[in-house]
Amino acid sequence: MADKPAAKTSPRTTTRTKAPGAATATAHQFKITLDSSKPPIWRRIQLASDASFWDLHCAVNDAMGWEDAHMHEFQIGSRRDGLRIGIPMDDGSGWFDDTDLAGWEVPITTHLAKPGARCVYLYDFGDDWSHSVLLEAIVPREAKVKYPRCLAGARACPPEDCGGIYGYTQLCWALANPGKADENIEELLEWLGGDFDPEAFDASEVKFHSAKRRLKALREDMR
């Protein structure tokens, strides 16, 4: 299910400030795991340490294989009372007022400064794809290496709008048991075209798209 569209809203556009001591000569190494996926769907990526949470959003989205077609947010601390970082809206509708900070304004080092730090990345407020984000290490950046980059991972990203982790579990069962799925899953299988392999993933095929261009496009769309 898709979340409520935000066609007439506009994100705040205040300038992001750099966190004190943010290291430009290092990279943050993250492991991202899709919650409740069995076997786990996960990715290991590296991202320049001076990146923002918007940059991290774009990197996670690309590494996982999502289409960036829905809203997102990072949750720092508890889901109920913690800080939320994403795309805040200023139209007073109340729909996205829970998001406290704009991702492009917040350096990742302000909340993910040391190995072992964690947060939650939520994608698609309808299907509710929750990802555990773990900062595994901070490593020296390598010369002539373009960041972000994907180092490893396992299993394919679920299809967009397949009904969250429950719908995806049903989909995988149907793929393993042809002819036994109910009508809704059969329709989803037909929509996929029968060429979805849950086990397929190749880190070398991950393509990262420009976070700056995506932010520019977002601002234009929200005018």
Q: What is the pTM of this model?
A: 0.84
Q: Say what percent of the chain tops pLDDT 90.
A: 63
Beta-carbon-side half-sphere exposure of residue 148 (alpha carbons within 13 Å):
34
Helix crossing, 211-221 with 53-64: angle to 10°? 100
pLDDT tier at 2, thresholds 50, 70, 90: very low
Highest mean pLDDT among 61-70, 91-100, 214-223: 61-70
Mean pLDDT of 80-95: 74
Separation of alpha carbons 71 and 2, rounded Å: 9
Mean pLDDT of 146-164: 95
Query: Residue 44 in contact with residue 151, Cβ under 8 Å?
Result: yes
pLDDT tier at 99, thresholds 50, 70, 90: low
Q: Dihedral sign, CA of 98, 96, 84, 11?
A: negative
pLDDT tier at 98, thresholds 50, 70, 90: low
Q: Domains of the chain (ranges plus CATH)? A: 26-156+199-214 (3.10.290.30)
- Give 34's strand partners: 131
CB neighbours of residue 116 within 10 Å: 9
Mean pLDDT of 2-16: 45
Per-residue pLDDT, 87: 93
pLDDT tier at 68, thresholds 50, 70, 90: very high
pLDDT tens per residue across span 115-130: 999 999 999 999 999 9
Per-residue pLDDT, 27: 98
Task: Tell which wins on pLDDT, 92 or 139.
Answer: 139
Tokens of 86: 């994403």
pLDDT tier at 108, thresholds 50, 70, 90: very high
